Amino acid sequence: MQFNASLSTGVRRSACAVIGVHDDGTIGGASRDARDEAVVGGLHRAGDFAGRLGDSLLLPEAAGRRLLLIGLGPKRTWSRRHYRRALKEAGSALVRCGADHAAIFFTAADVPDVDAYYRARYAAELAAASLYRIPDFKTGRKPRPSKLAQVTAVMGERADLAAARRGLDHGAALGVGQRLSRDLANLPGNVCTPTYLGNAAKRLARGQRRIKVRVLGAAEIKRLKMGSFLSVTRGSDEPPRLIVAEYRGATAAKAPIVLVGKGITFDTGGISLKDPPGMDEMKFDMSGAATVLGTLAALASAAAPVNVTVVVPTCENMPSGRATKPGDIVTSMSGQTIEVLNTDAEGRLILCDALTYSRRFKPSVVVDVATLTGACVIALGSHFSGLMSNDDDLAEALTEAGKRTGDPCWRLPLTEDYSEQLRSNFADLANIGGREAGAITAGAFLAKFADGLRWAHLDIAGTAYMTGAAKGSTGRPVSMLLDFCLNHGR
């Protein structure tokens, strides 16, 4: 899809004009065409279009051109969230109506705390998301692909064009990253195995001189003394992989951001077997891996001037005669011993070794991303990702990136009080701390392996995918992480 920014006078009349309308009948944005205002005013007075947030109405021929009206709701509550919701509805309506070129006029509307760059970036992001289709395995006829090939973000001021074009470029790059992330997470576990994930990372590097990928097998992982990681994969016939992907967009002297993604391609819980209902959704337990690889793809597409290294420990967690048992003690790459009290708390067991491995890159910061705990879903639902960190500035930077992108996280406390719950009579620490504060004690466990690092942990168990009838990957938090990387060190 092509994106461009233009003033209202530079938009072709053949484009489908997407006009935002508030509930008082006024037009939001750059369109001040008298014919548009006459059409909208007449429909509003007649009660045919009330301008409620998320409403849409297609007028095939009005005021000499095709109009798509999108409700913006009341002016008094107009906000970033409502602007994104209006754009989302616009994208869906454009796909339904079969338009091939759209000019979105309400991208010029003033939105509190949202500048021209982000107004345009959201437009590209949500237009790309509207075209996404789950990679299904149905044998029937596939739906026809959307005709939408070009989107113009209409700006009201010439001074906004440069920032808008940069925002569109980054929004388009984000679309590339989110598509990869969602595709990987939506694939079934018998397709997206650790080997498949490693090959996907290699494909990402093809034709990209700035990306270098290495995929380590079981023997190499064993030589690294990653006993905690290997304890999780013992019950599976699928071999584990450690994926290391380096993106170099800045000088070699600049310390990289390291992103660590949990890559459990299917999680049965191991010997501590999960309840059968909903276990099919455990194919999404590699969403952390999908997120960091998607972020890398977005950075490459945007030619971002940063250095980012991605580390993905990936394996299955299966029960068998060889599987790790509750009460077993394993030795991590750091040398710390761990009593495995629950084999379904496996994500932290692979991440702790990956955090230790990340030290060799001398990172500026390390951020791990994981569908780690059901407790985080109970605490924050599907709206906020959980955030824990040993560094206030890093936590603030991630929080602000989440606010700017509409992909928010919420910081949870992380003090030594919670580490007390991880005491073990038989090892340096246990892998669980009981029911209380389950999301936080998981973070406290990882913090034991991040000493001396500027580190943050994102628990995306509630935000990475949707359940029920709309089951599927959301592509979160690629948007937040791309924004964080683009602004890191500024």
List residues with catalytic annotation: 274, 348
DSSP 3-state of 248: strand
Angle at 92 between CA 91 and CA 93, to 5 degrees: 90
Distance in angstroms (rounded) separating the CA atoms of residues 87 and 127: 8
470: how many CB neighbours lie within 10 A of its CB? Answer: 8
Q: State how far the alpha carbon of 339 is from the alpha carbons of 336, 342, 420, 424, in Å.
A: 10, 9, 15, 7
Omega into 477 within 30° of 0, i.e. cis? Answer: yes
In terms of Cα–Cα distance, which of 276, 321, 284, 490 is closest to 404?
A: 490
In terms of Cα–Cα distance, which of 312, 5, 390 is closest to 159?
A: 5
Here the tokens at position 482 are 């791309």
Distance in angstroms (rounded) separating the CA atoms of residues 20 and 31: 9
Q: How far is CA 222 from the centre of its chain?
A: 31
Distance in angstroms (rounded) separating the CA atoms of residues 218 and 194: 11
Distance in angstroms (rounded) separating the CA atoms of residues 63 and 2: 26
b (16+ CB within 10 A) / e for 379-403:
bbeeebbbbbbbeeebbebbbebbe
207: how many CB neighbours lie within 10 A of its CB? Answer: 8
Residues linked to residue 27 through DSSP beta bridges, in sequence order: 21
* 214 backbone dihedrals φ, ψ, rounded to 5°: -125, 140
Which residues contact residue 314 at a Cβ distance below 8 angstroms, ignoring those fewer than 6 apart? 194, 197, 198, 240, 241, 242, 243, 263, 264, 265, 286, 289, 350
Q: Residues 346, 326: contact at Cβ < 8 Å?
A: no
